[in-house]
Amino acid sequence: MRRYSRITGTGSYLPPRRLTNADLVAELATQGVETSDDWIVERTGIRARHFAAPDVCSSDLALEAARKALEAAKLQAHEIDLIIVATSTPDMVFPSSACILQNKLGANGCAAFDVHAVCSGFVYALTVADAMIQNGAASKALVIGAEVFSRILDFKDRTTCVLFGDGAGAVVLEASETPGILATDLHADGKHVGILCVPGHVSGGAVLGDPVLKMDGQAVFKLAVGVLEDAARAVLAKANLTEADIDWLIPHQANIRIMQSTARKLKLPMDKVVVTVDQHGNTSAASIPLALDHAVRAGKVKKGDTLMLEGVGGGFTWGAVLLNF
Ligand code: ACO
């Protein structure tokens, strides 16, 4: 009998410090950086973001989200046999945030590693976990996106610092006789490294280069809307389904205009798109599982619904996962 994987629990966590656009505008003004609630809302749809306290790392946010997902799946941490954390803001250069999280959870002994695909990280991690469950390498996986992007922002650059926030989202993915995950599709094109990157690195005990986020927003926008449509069509074709079969589109929460454009191309009304970017900004790898968990807990996404998850981000990377919830 074929083995599939299925999401059996979701969880998410946003750190308590919440800054509305007005709060951020006031804070940036003290440093001579001018922006406005109107500009941020009109161009991005973002109304607030959460920033983690200085001593809080991605694994701490991941821990809170993971505990909620485990509770929803009615599992204990020691029953988990695989942990994948998608993050571009790990606690340390090494070991992985997944290993640090594993110890905090008390799930010691299971396989644990990070996936680094920036804002596509969660769809990459989910695809890897699905493959490992299908081939028998794992049976009960925790797949998490967790980020502290506030650590890599340049608060003098208004074109980027208003866009991002911190948070985590998690799912428990279990082996199942029925799908579950129906199709996955991943891509990358390294020739676009320069349009979205944090070019600094550690060498000889010092940070060399510029360790804050650089983005060519318009180039990212153009690429994102094209590849998100392609990835969606690819997974639909693999699963022999059409746009009409999608109950919920859960795209990477970067910008409402990218989501609207993707929905338009797929001929989906916006009331079939899960939108939470207004509440937490772009949380990179955390944004898809965060949005999924919010929609599940709000009673929107129900068991049996067909979900299209889509990520796009630095690399350039992109991908989609089509699943039966
Ligand atoms: N407040 C006020 N004005 C601003 C701000 C700000 N925060 N930022 C830029 N501006 C100004 C610019 O200086 C420019 O002024 P000018 O016309 O006088 O020169 C004007 O606003 C327009 O700037 P643009 O860059 O052309 O604005 P645009 O409409 O392209 O919007 C944005 C910028 C929101 C970044 C858009 O390009 C975008 O959404 N890109 C995609 C970004 C994204 O989603 N990235 C994440 C995806 S991948 C990942 O998640 C890591």
* Composition of the chain by helix, strand, coil, percent to 5: 40, 25, 35
- Percent of the chain clearing pLDDT 70 (strictly above): 100
The finding on whether 95 has its CB within 6 A of some atom of ligand 1 is: no
From 288, 299, 262, 264, select the one nearest 126 (Cα to Cα): 288
* E strand or H helix that includes residue 231: helix 217-238
Which of 221, 258, 262, 280 for a ligand 1 pocket mutation test, highest count of atoms within 8 Å of Cβ? 221
Which of 24, 27, 41, 43 for a ligand 1 pocket mutation test, highest count of atoms within 8 Å of Cβ? 43
pLDDT computed for residue 209 by the predictor: 94
The finding on whether 113 has its CB within 6 A of some atom of ligand 1 is: no
Question: Which residues contact residue 39 at a Cβ distance below 8 angstroms, ignoring those fewer than 6 apart?
Answer: none
From 120, 69, 168, 82, select the one nearest 315 (Cα to Cα): 120
Compute the distance from residue 56 Cα to the ligand 1 centre, in Å: 29
Instruction: Give me the phi and psi of 33, to 5 degrees please.
Output: -105, 125
Closest-CA residue, ligand 1 atom 15, reads 159
Average pLDDT of 31-42?
Answer: 98
Maximum Cα–Cα distance across the chain: 63
From 99, 125, 130, select the one nearest 112 (Cα to Cα): 99
1 pLDDT higher than 90 = no
Q: Catalytic annotation on 282?
A: yes
Domains observed in the chain: 4-176 (3.40.47.10), 181-324 (3.40.47.10)
125 pLDDT higher than 90 = yes
The finding on whether 162 has its CB within 6 A of some atom of ligand 1 is: yes
Q: Which of 21, 50, 57, 282 is catalytic?
A: 282
pLDDT computed for residue 110 by the predictor: 98
Average pLDDT of 67-86?
Answer: 98
pTM: 0.97
**With 0-12 CB in 10 A as exposed, 13-18 as middle and 19+ as buried, what is 85?**
buried
Q: Catalytic annotation on 252?
A: yes
Residues 49, 237: Cα–Cα separation, whole Å? 36
The finding on whether 217 has its CB within 6 A of some atom of ligand 1 is: yes
Closest-CA residue, ligand 1 atom 31, reads 43
Residues 41, 308: Cα–Cα separation, whole Å? 25
**Strand (E) positions, 45-123?**
48-50, 82-86, 111-115
Q: Which of 50, 252, 280, 294 is catalytic?
A: 252
Compute the distance from residue 43 Cα to the ligand 1 centre, in Å: 7
Kindly report the number of other CB atoms within 10 A of residue 204's CB atom.
5
- The model's pLDDT over 165-214, given as tens digits with 9 standing for 90+, comes to 999 999 999 999 999 999 999 999 999 999 999 999 999 999 999 999 99
pLDDT computed for residue 215 by the predictor: 98
Instruction: Give me the phi and psi of 318, to 5 degrees please.
Output: -160, 165
Residue type, 213: L
* E strand or H helix that includes residue 100: helix 97-105
Average pLDDT of 138-155?
Answer: 98
Residue 155, preceding peptide bond in cis (omega within 30° of 0)? no
- 3 dihedral zone (left: phi>0; alpha: psi -120 to 50; beta): beta
Q: Catalytic annotation on 255?
A: no
pLDDT band at 272 (very low <50, low <70, confident <90, very high): very high
The finding on whether 254 has its CB within 6 A of some atom of ligand 1 is: yes
* Total residue count of the chain as it appears in this document: 325
Residues 214, 194: Cα–Cα separation, whole Å? 8
Atom of ligand 1 nearest to the CA of 254: 44
Q: Calculate the CA 101 to chain-centre distance.
A: 17
- The model's pLDDT over 212-241, given as tens digits with 9 standing for 90+, comes to 999 999 999 999 999 999 999 999 999 999
Residues 74, 68: Cα–Cα separation, whole Å? 10
Report residue 28 as tokens: 């940036």
95 pLDDT higher than 90 = yes
